[in-house]
Amino acid sequence: MSTPEPIPVVHASIEPPKSLITVTTAVYVLLAIGILPPFFPAFIAAVIISYVKRDDVRGTFLESHFRWQIRTFWFGLLWFVIGVSTWLILIGYVITAINYIWIMYRIIKGWLDLVDRKPMYRGRTA
């Protein structure tokens, strides 16, 4: 008796409505605006929208974008706090700068993949 082959995970099985693509774009815009210090509340608004709309995008390629956006927020915030708390020993400036570049990369990569209608985390298993 042979063992059955695992069923591959398909992320883009359902085409999302245009309104959800617009919401996803708006979240990337808020993330981009929010990396500027005076506009940090936009960064927080972006993650709140991602959490609120996450169930609406299940089963579409947008689900991976929302996960990408949420992780960008939390890991970015974590490294920002670590960077700021180590400013006195000067390494914090390097950590903060690298974090800023990493967040910009994640916003740009995610936004470009959204424009191309590609899911994030391609080539990885769920």
Instruction: With 0.85 as the threshold, say if the pTM is over it.
Output: no
**Nearest CA-CA partner of 71 in 31, 13, 15:** 31
Q: What is the pLDDT along the chain (126 residues), one digit of tens a residue?
A: 556 554 444 445 678 889 999 999 999 999 999 998 888 899 999 999 999 999 999 999 999 999 999 999 999 999 999 999 999 998 999 999 999 999 999 999 999 999 999 999 876 544
**Letter string b/e over residues 109-124, b meaning 16 or more CB atoms within 10 A of that residue's CB:** ebbebbeeeebbeeee
Look-up: residue for tokens 């939390």?
Answer: 74
Continuous segment of H or E residues that includes residue 91:
helix 91-115
